[in-house]
Structures are given as C-alpha cells and as structure tokens.
Structure 1
C-alpha cells in the first residue's frame, strides 16, 4: 500500500477502529491505512471470512493489530454481538467507518420490492444500526469519530440504480442530522461520496457504460480504494477537528459542489 504526505504512523495510536465491510475493496484499504497509523482495527465482514482473514494478515504484516468479526449489519442482534465482541477483545470503539454496502445495477423495469428493501436494509438501516450501537459509549466518553460511505449516486439521479441512489442519499441526510445532534458531545460525523472506484461492486455494470462515465470524467480514470481511505483517515483524524456533517466527493471532477 502506498502512502502520501499526510501519513502519520502515530495519528491513531491507542485508538480502536471498527470498519464494516472491511474484508476487501475500500474497506480493506481503510483497515490497512488505520492500522498503519496506529489503530487497533476490527475488520467486519458478512460472508467473506477468507477475505477478512487476508485483511487481518496484511494488517499484522504492517506491524498492526486487530481482529475479524462476522456480522450482517442489517440485523440488530448481529450488530449488537459484533460490537460486544470488538469491545471485549480490543476495547471501546472510538473510530467507526460504516462501509458495508450492496449494489444492484438495474433499470426501473427490473427493480422490485425485494431489491429495494435489500438496498435500504444494508446501506441505510445497517449504517443506522451500527452507529446506534456505538453511540452510547461515544456519548459517555465524549469522544467519537464516524465516517459513513455514501456515493455520488446519493447526489445525482441514477435511473439504472434507483434503490441504491435513494439509500445513499439517506446516508447523507443521516450524517448531517446526527452530526448536528452530537457536535457538542465531541462526536464528529462525516460522509464520503465516491464516484467510480476500482472495486468488485462494479461487476454488475457493463463495460460500455463504465467507459462512457470515465470519458465524461475530467480526470479520466477510476479512483482507487487507497485514495478513498486517505480521505477517510483525514476525516477521522484531529486534523479535521472543525469538520462535521460534511459529504466529501471523490469523483475525478464528475461532480463539483459549490
């Protein structure tokens, strides 16, 4: 994994971080970056145990420490068990990256209630459940840093991924509301809205559509998980201590907010 000028091996020393969906892609990149900068990292996964174990192996190869923990973030009982296991093994969770997500690329003719419900259950309700489970401890300690993974789809119309876009727009609204509610309790909450990132989530998108999007991007390429992880760690760190309730866009210029 490459690093940049903001890399600080002591930035998260003695902090405990939970990364949902940490077994691969953006989640894995976040786990590795946090571990490199001193955090003890809990790698949450739903079904990819081997991938999660590989993430932990890479963390340990970097000299870091952590654990893997299984959970379906859309199920309250599983979220409760996950957080309890992390607290018992690593300590109080101070840094949270809500990265678990699912994506379906389909037209409105194909979209049905089951797909709609799946998008909302994992992407939006899952973000809520994990956040609500760590909330009491963060409020008690008067410290917490949360980054929620939204998407460029939450900011722009997406006729071929309607349910996904709605769920990610909900993540942005959720971020803004809880950031306002908890700002005086020293809990900062921000979101990231990536555009095209080189991950397996794009496997359902046809190559022709991907090429059209890249061609329309001012920086004409896809982003990398490591580029997302760099912004995640910035938002978790004290360098961004006056930043809360924001959604940072990483899209190569495809979306430019005022």
Structure 2
C-alpha cells in the first residue's frame, strides 16, 4: 500500500520541491495551499501527468476548522497520512520596535499555531497505528536569531523546542519527529535580494552556494525513510555551513 504525505504550503518553494520529491519516490501527495491556487493546481497537474496520485486542498493552517477539513479530505481520499511536513510559513523583516501586534500575532498564527493544528489533527491516527513521521521546517535563524527578524526568529525557535519535546512524547508510539533548519534558499523569500548581497551570502557560506529547494527537499525526504529510523528530536542544519553551531 502506498504511503501518503501531506505538505503544508506546498504550492511554492521548498514545499513544492518536497511534493515533487515524495511523488517521485512513489508517495500519494496532499498539496496544501492558502492563496496560491494557480501554482498549486499547476503542481497538481504536473504530478498527475507524471503518474503520481495527488490532490490539492486549500486551507489556512492557522484556522483550525480549515485544517480539520483538510485532513478529513486527505483521509477520505487516501485512507492514511504517514508523513506530515509542516512547511507553511511566512517571513518578514521589520525593526523590532516597529513590529505591530498584528504582525507578531499573524506570524505566530501561521508558523507556530499552524504546526500545532496540523500535528493535533494527524496524531490520533498515527498514535493508534504506532507509526508516522512529522518533519517541521524551521530555519537557521531559529538556532541563532536574525537582526530585524526577531518575530520570525522567535517562531522558528519555537518550532525547534516543540520538535524536541514532541519527539520525546511520541517516541513510545514509534512516531519520529524532526526539524530541518535551512539557511539561504533560492525561493521567493530571497527573490528580491540583490546580486551583490547574494554574492556576500555565498562568500560567507563554506560551500559557497545558495541552496536550492530541491536540496532541502532531499533532506526532508531522507528523514521519512527507513534509513533515518534512529533519528528523532533532531534539528538538521541544512545551511551549507552558513551557520555552524
């Protein structure tokens, strides 16, 4: 029986590359999107035309009722969800003293509460079956913090602590929980960065690259494989050495 993965925020960037990777490896794929309907449907068409089984489901992960409806649709279509990838997230650069309460609340609603909602919806069945993988997308800024991104860094740090705590709680149920902390990745989040800044990033990175979404997707997929069975509660620093700690 084919395994199924649900990837939040999978219409673009790392999420999109991760959906393609899991589809290539034979998984049923549940594509989640919030506003990027056209990109989600184009990904769906691409996966279906390649012979994969996939569906696209609209849901704002910060809205519990929408998340519950998404999981209900996923279970109805595929019967099970074996891997949850909490990838949906938003970023923002604002001087701390200028961050509004609305900005602070929204970034936590999506980046942290969205993960909470999805985990609570997937876990009853995973626990009953004593099997499952949860992979959360954090950031190197969750490890070391970033100037003018205190709110973003705080959410990514919360993801790290949540991952470690949940891994301890779910280990007896044979459920592995890990996080991936990417560095600079060539996605929409850095699309507006000048070529000069990109070269500075490369110079400060030991491997002298800006990571590709596909490279992060490979790390995420590895954590879902049998080869990674002994790995739980870990934060995989996938930054090409940009941050070493």
Q: Same fold (TM over 0.5)?
A: yes
Q: Which residue of 1 aligns with 2:156?
A: 168
CA offsets, 1:201-236, max 9 Å, x none?
A: 224656654443332111222100100010101001
For 1:221, which of 205, 209, 212 is the aligned residue?
Answer: 209
For 1:151, which of 139, 142, 156 is the aligned residue?
Answer: 139
- CA distance, structure 2, for counterparts of residue 214 and residue 124 of structure 1: 30
Find runs of 4+ consecutive structure 1 residues off by over 3 angstroms. 203-211
Residue 66 of structure 1 contacts residue 90 of structure 1 at CA under 8 Å; is this kept in 2? Answer: no
CA offsets, 1:168-210, max 9 Å, x none?
A: 0000100000000000101000000000000002246566544
Q: Which residue of 2 aligns with 1:132?
A: 120
Residue 105 of structure 1 contacts residue 205 of structure 1 at CA under 8 Å; is this kept in 2? Answer: no
Q: Which residue of 1 aligns with 2:228?
A: 240
**Superposed CA RMSD:** 1.4
Q: Which residue of 2 aligns with 1:123?
A: 111
- CA distance, structure 2, for counterparts of residue 109 and residue 218 of structure 1: 33
Residue 123 of structure 1 contacts residue 168 of structure 1 at CA under 8 Å; is this kept in 2? Answer: yes
For 1:49, which of 21, 28, 37 is the aligned residue?
Answer: 37
- CA distance, structure 2, for counterparts of residue 164 and residue 203 of structure 1: 18
Q: Does 1:196 align with 2:184?
A: yes
Q: Does 1:60 align with 2:48?
A: yes
- Give the SS at the match of 1:146: strand
CA offsets, 1:20-63, max 9 Å, x none?
A: 00111100111111011111000000011111111111212322
More displaced 10-residue stretch of structure 1: 65-74 or 247-256: 247-256
Which runs of 5 or more residues in structure 2 are unaligned?
none
More displaced 10-residue stretch of structure 1: 109-118 or 128-137: 109-118
**Pair 1:114–1:205, CA change in 2 (3 A):** farther
**Pair 1:246–1:198, CA change in 2 (3 A):** same
Which structure has the highest helix share of the two?
A: 2
Total equivalences in the alignment: 245
- CA distance, structure 2, for counterparts of residue 114 and residue 211 of structure 1: 34
Which runs of 5 or more residues in structure 1 are unaligned?
1-12
Q: Which residue of 2 aligns with 1:10?
A: none
- CA distance, structure 1, for counterparts of residue 45 and residue 148 of structure 2: 37
TM-score if structure 2 supplies the norm length?
0.96
